[in-house]
Chains A and B, each alone.
Chain A
Amino acid sequence: MSRSLEKILDQIFQEKVFLSISSVLGFLLIWYLVTDLLGLMPAIVLPSPEKVFFTIYEKILDPVGEEKLFGHLRISLIRIMVGTGIALALAIPLGILMGWYENLDAVASPIIEVLRPIPPIAWIPLAILWFGIGLASKVFIICIGVFFPTLINTYLGVKFVDPLLIKAAQTLGARDKDILWEVVVPASVPLIVAGMRIGVGLGMMCLVAAELVAASSGLGYLIVLGGDDLKPELSITGMILIGLLGLIADRIILKVERKVVYWRKE
């Protein structure tokens, strides 16, 4: 590449980064202006950026409701992990068996097809009726959210494995049972993990929904409390934390995916 071409490319690159940074700063600036300096929005409607910042700082030390900030975070975390864990433990084996054994597929499919279109959030009233406001109802909803996408993707992964691989294994002497665990399951891992990713994303939404509607702790509770007590800075705190939690969860699964599906060219 000629030197002048490099220079131009450098400029463009910097220009892009410059634009990105300046837009974020611009956003913060406008926020700050609108709330603090110009006082266009009352603090009850939209708090200024530093207010949010201080609230976060404050609530790390002082409790809101029964817990401090990290306590709420921990509770939400426990809910999502338990719900996800149970869902994965049920969905993946069931998906594999349903994909491989036609009879099981025929028996289980109709039930699943009836339950699947019902959004997990629609289960909330029933869940509250059955389990109350405690941990169980949240875990139940999250479980439903994570279960179905994972099940479907696992099922599809197993059912639509490249038949060529199965034929290759057969002509090398493997028997049916061996083929399921040695060939079909490893071959479906990419789809299974993709399903997990969708499922966990949905699970986060279910966590928020369940905590908004019926909880007395957790990040969703903070968000609702902020609305009820006319303290939007509390809501925003909760929202930021939930956003972060979602991002981290997604990154973790991406890392898992990269590790487990090591044989793919990027």
Chain B
Amino acid sequence: MSEKKRKKSIKRWALSIVSVLAVMSLWFMITSLAKIIPPAFLPPPQNIVTDFIRLMGNPYVGNTLIGHTLISLQIVLGGFFLALVIGIPLGIIMGWFKRIEAIVDPLFQLLRPIPPLAWIPLSLLWFGIGLKSKIFVIWLSAFVPCVINSYTGIRLTDPILIRAALGLGVKRQWDLLREVAIPSSLPIILGGVRIGLGAAWMTLVAAELLASNAGLGYMMQMARRALEPSVIILGMLIIGILGALMARGLRALEKRICPWVVKEER
């Protein structure tokens, strides 16, 4: 049986590699060799590499590649952590205390359907073009999933576990919350954190496209105006890679914090 599996695996790898090579060659051909498509429209693949090297050393619209990346990262992480710190406790409290839920929930449901991105112009009006307006919107986008998931996690605590704790002598509400409800909801809460990070990242890109003078989004906008799609694509790839890395990192963290979860995920 293992022979079969190994052969299957090799075949799969082979097909994947061939597919990637085929796409890259096609791309190369229609841009460089046959020149069917002008470089201002779709850059030849090698341009992306050369631009990468170029931008590592020389500034582009004010900053090197690393400079732009760091600026973007700072803003994202800033807004994101703020959202965690406020959102998770709020969600937990909402989930546990019905009265607080009754007060906060309707407001939450009213504001929730509005996509965080839509707050950008208002945010600019309130906070100006600087850092604050971007952090506000990013905070908002990560805040919502954190609250929702924390709330859901607490609500879905298996009542059997609570009963078991009560039967073992745990009496105070606060202890029950701390010892049973919160740990059991950790997987869901962390799921919300992951969603929040993805949302924060997306919102950052949009915010930087709209109103910024530094960062990866700004870099891409400027490249568009200068008709340099290779830099745009470079930006896209970096954003994609960073996003994927952050998601992986979070998933690894999840496994550490919640080793008891058995997940079947891609």
Contacts and interface: CB of A to CB of B under 8 A. Distances in A.
A19 B102 CA distance: 6
Contacts of A160: 264
Interface residues of B, dominant DSSP: helix
Contacts of B198: 119
B93 interface: no
Contacts of A121: 202, 205-206, 209
A111 interface: yes
A223 B224 contact: no
Interface in A96-128: 102-103, 105-111, 114-115, 117-126, 128
Interface string B1-33: 000000010011101111110010000000000
Interface stretch (A84-92, A187-195, A205-213): A205-213
A13 to B, nearest CB: 10
Contact of B206 (A45, A213, A242): A213
B235 to A, nearest CB: 7
Given A106-B15, A117-B240, A209-B206, A246 B115 contact: yes
Interface in A54-82: none
Main secondary structure on chain A at its contact with chain B?
Answer: helix
Contacts of A260: none
Contact of B237 (A45, A118, A152, A243): A118
B118 A227 contact: no
Contacts of A244: 113
A117 B233 contact: no
B210 interface: yes
B179 interface: no
Contact of A223 (B99, B102, B110, B121): B121
Interface residues of A, number: 63
A235 interface: yes
B158 interface: no
Nearest to B221: A125
A230 B126 CA distance: 11
Contacts of A46: 126
Contact of B239 (A122, A220, A223, A240): A122
Nearest to A213: B209
Interface stretch (A20-28, A32-40, A161-169, A170-178): A20-28
B77 interface: no
Interface in A184-243: 204-205, 208-209, 212-213, 220, 223-224, 226-228, 230, 232, 235-236, 238-240, 242-243
Interface of A: 15-17, 19-21, 23-24, 27, 44-46, 102-103, 105-111, 114-115, 117-126, 128-130, 152, 156, 160, 204-205, 208-209, 212-213, 220, 223-224, 226-228, 230, 232, 235-236, 238-240, 242-244, 246-247
11 contacts: A23-B103, A111-B19, A122-B235, A122-B240, A128-B224, A152-B266, A208-B117, A227-B120, A230-B125, A235-B122, A239-B114
